[in-house]
Structure 1
Amino acid sequence: MGKVTRRRYGAEFKAKVALEAIKGELTLAELSAKHGIHQTMIAAWKRQAIEGLASTFSGKAEAAVATGEAELTRLHAKIGQLVVERDFLAKASGRLSVERRRAMVDGSHPQLSIVRQCALLQISRSGRYYQPVGESEPTLALMRLIDEAFLDCPYYGSRQMMRHLHRLGHRVGRNRVVGLMRKMGLRAIYQKPNTSAPHPEHRVYPYLLRDLAIVRPNQVWCSDITYIPMRRGFLYLTAIMDWHSRRVLSWRLSNTMDLAFCTEALQEALALHGTPDIFNTDQRSQFTSLAFTQMLADANVRISMDGRGRWMDNVFIERLWRSLKYECVYLHAFETGLALHAGLRKWIGHYNTRRPHSSLGGQTPEEAYNEIGSTVSSLKLAA
C-alpha cells in the first residue's frame, strides 16, 4: 500500500472557500461537493474568517505588531506557564466533538505537524483522509418529510416521528431520526427534564409575556430560527417579527447555525424600526449568547425567553414558519441560495404588504404596524 499524501490547504484557498460560505449562496453540502472538503471544515473556516475580520478592525493586529522588546522578555519568562496551560488545553479539547476537533487541524501549519496536532487534539490521524460527500437524495427527502410532519405535529418526538415515517414506507431507525432532527434544529414541544438545554455558560432570562396584554406595535418583538429545505441541501433562516402586527421586520439566511446571521438580523431591525419594550426568543444558544443579549441590553430592551420546550410561548413566529414553508418553500423547491433569497424576499414582501389578517381586523401586517388602518377606514366612511 502506497504512502497516503496529506492534503494541505493554503491560506488563499481557505479564504476563497470561507468567502463563498459567508456569501451564503450555496449550502454546505454544495460547497463540500464543489471543493471536496468536509462540511465541518468549511463551517470552521467561515467562523475563523468572521473572527479574523473582527480582530482586523479592532486594532488587535496593530497592537501585536507594536509589541516591544519588554513585552517579548515578559513572554519568554512565561514559557514554563504556557507549557502547563498547553497540556491543560489538550485535555480540555477532548470535550469537543470529534468533528470539531478534526476541523481544527491545520495542514499548512509551519511548526506543528499533523501528527502532533492530532495528538494534542486527541483524534485519529486517519480521520483526516475521509472523503466528504454531500447529503444524498434519500436523506434530503427524509428531512423534508420530517419537516412537513413537524409543522403539523410539533409535539412529535423522535419515536413518534419514526413511527410516522414507517407508515409512509420508510424503514428508518430511531437513531437516524434523532440525528436528522438534531441537524434540522427540531425539538418536540412537550416538557422533558434536562433536555434542550441552552449553552451552560449563557444566562437564561425569564418569560415576561404571560398574562401581558400586547396592544401596540414595538411593544414586543420575537425571533426564531428554522430549517429551509432545498433541492440540494438546506439553509437556515432567522426572522424578527413584531408580535402585535405580525410584521416581519428583518430576516437573514445562513448555511450554518451560527451567531452572526442572528446578530445581523437584530442590527437591521433596530436600525430600521427603533427598539421594542420586550424581545422574546427561545433558549437557543444563539439567542442566549452574550453578543446577542448585550445588543438588546445596550438598547435598553427587556429580554424574555420561552419556557423549555414551550413552542406556544412564541406561537406567532411558529405560524409564520408554517405559512412560509407551505406557501413558498415547498411549492418551488429552490435550486440555489440566490433563488431562495429572491423567493423569500418576494413572499415576505407579499405577506407584509398585501396579505390581510383576520386577527388584525382585515389589515395587512404593515398597515397594523404603521397604525394606518383606522385612518383609511375613516376616510372611506367620510367619502
Structure 2
Amino acid sequence: MSKKRTKYTSAFKTKLVLELLQNESAIVQIASKHNILPQNLQNWKKTFLANAEIAMEPSKAVKEYKDELIKAQMRNERLTTLVGKVTVEKEWLAKKLKSLGSSNRKQLVDLKPSLLHASYSLSVNHQCQLLGVNRSGIYYKPKVNNTKQSIKNHITKVFEKIPIYGEKKVHQQLLEDGYKVSLNTVARYRQELGLKAVLAVKQVNTTIPIKAHKKYSYKLRGLNISHSNHVWSTDITYVKIAGGMVYMAAIIDWHSKAVLSHRISNTMDSQLVMGVLNDALEKHLHPHPHPHPHPHPEIFNTDQGSQYTSEIHTKRLKDLGITISMDGKGRATDNICIERFWRSAKCERIYLNEYQSISDLITDMDDYIEFYNHQRFHETLKYKKPMDVYQESIKLNQEKKKVS
C-alpha cells in the first residue's frame, strides 16, 4: 500500500526557511531535525525569496493582480462576443442548409480539406456531420439515364416549338417522333422540367342581328355528323392590333375540325363573310360523281348576325342547295365547333403576340392555321390532325359513291 504524501502548511514552510536563513545550522541538520528532505527545504527557500518583494510591497502585487484580472476579463468578454456571433451565424447557416436538397449539400463537401488554422482542419467526416449528409453517399456517382435525358430533351424541344401543347399532345408528339413512353412519364418529366402549356383566355361578342332579316332554325341539334362536308359553320371574331380592332372570319368543317378558309378585314361587313364563303366553296366544293352534282356542304351553320342573315349571303347558299342553319338567340354553344377553334387560336397564338399591323396578323394566322390543320393533334379526333381526317373522309365517301 502506497504511503500518503505529507502536506505541509505555509506557516511550517516559512518557519523552516527562516531557520535556514539564520545560517546557524546546515541544511541537512535542519532537514533531519524536522524529518523532511533537504531538497524540499531548498525548494521552499527558493520560492520564499522569489516572492519576498510581495511581502515588502503587497499593494503593488495586488495592483498587478488586479490588472491581470481586468485584462483576463476583457479577453473573456471579447471571446464571449465572438462565440455568440459564431453561434448565431452557425444557426443561420444550419437553417439555410436544411432548405437545400441532399444532393446540393453533398456538393459542399471538400474531399481534400485544407488547414483552417495552423493546427486544425475539417475532416470529411466532420464536414458531413455539419452538413447533415451521409458520408457513404459522398463518393457515390449516380448513373446517368440516357434514355430519360433524351426524352426530356425532346419534350423541351416540343415545348419550344409548340408551347401551347399540354401533356397529352406532347405525349402524342413523342409517339409520332418514335419515342416509346407513357403519358404518365411525359407528365412527370414535364413537371420536373417546370413546363406548362402557355395559354390565355378572352371573349368578345360579334353577333349584331337585324330584326328585318329572316332567321333560320337550328338544324344541328341531335344530328349525327358522320363525314366531312356534312356540316360547315362560320363565325367572326375581334382581334386587337396596334391602333385598334380588326375582324377575322373563318369556316370550319364540323366532322374533321379542319379550317377550310379564313379572312381578316378592318371592317365587319358582307364583303368579309362572302369572301371567306366563296373561298371555301372554290377550294372544297366536291361534285357528286353522278350526272347531277350535289353541292357541299349539306348544311351551313351561322349565328344570327346581320352579315349572315343578309340576302346576298343566304341567296348564295340557297342557290347551291345548301341547308341554312342558325344558332338560337344568345346560344353561342350552338356553334361550338367554331367557338372552340377561336379559343384555340387566341389562347395558343393571338393572345401571346402583339401585332403592329394587319399584314403581321395575316402572316401569323396563315402560319397558325397551317399548323392547326396539318400538325396539331386534336383530342376529339383521337389525336389525329384535322386536315388528315378531312381528306380521309372525302376519299372514303367518294369510294362509297363509286361503288353505289
* TM-score, structure 1 as length reference: 0.47
* TM-score, structure 2 as length reference: 0.44
> RCO greater where, 1 or 2, for CA within 8 Å and sep 6 or more?
1
